[in-house]
Structure 1
């Protein structure tokens, strides 16, 4: 599967915002659940992924380069 790098960044940002919204909505809900901590940690991890992606790809072209996830690559790594 080939994805443009900006598409991967948009996916990371959507996950970051989704996890952050889930964390906040569970935190505001006054049922006494501590499940918001897990969503907060997931949101922080996705925020780290976004920042790390931006730092690594700072000098790359956004529209010409691809992130390739192909089964042939995984087979070579496993062998």
Structure 2
């Protein structure tokens, strides 16, 4: 339709109690939000992505989370994701 724009690309986050106590979960969520924000432009417009932190994410540093997220995005964009 004329005048319609593509919806924005959005991301949601799931960080369960298995990741750690509330302080750790919030830290992981902030790090992931920052990392995903930098990568949203790689996704097709209007994409909806859910990032789920696994239990080891609470012990991972920023660089490890970035590396894991990059690997997940690579799988997603190559069609290897479910």
For the superposition of Structure 1 and Structure 2, which TM-score range results when normalised by the shorter chain?
Answer: 0.3 to 0.5
Higher relative contact order (CA 8 A, sep 6+): 1
Q: Which has the larger radius of gyration?
A: 1
The TM-score normalised by the length of structure 1 is 0.36
Give the structure with the higher percent strand.
2
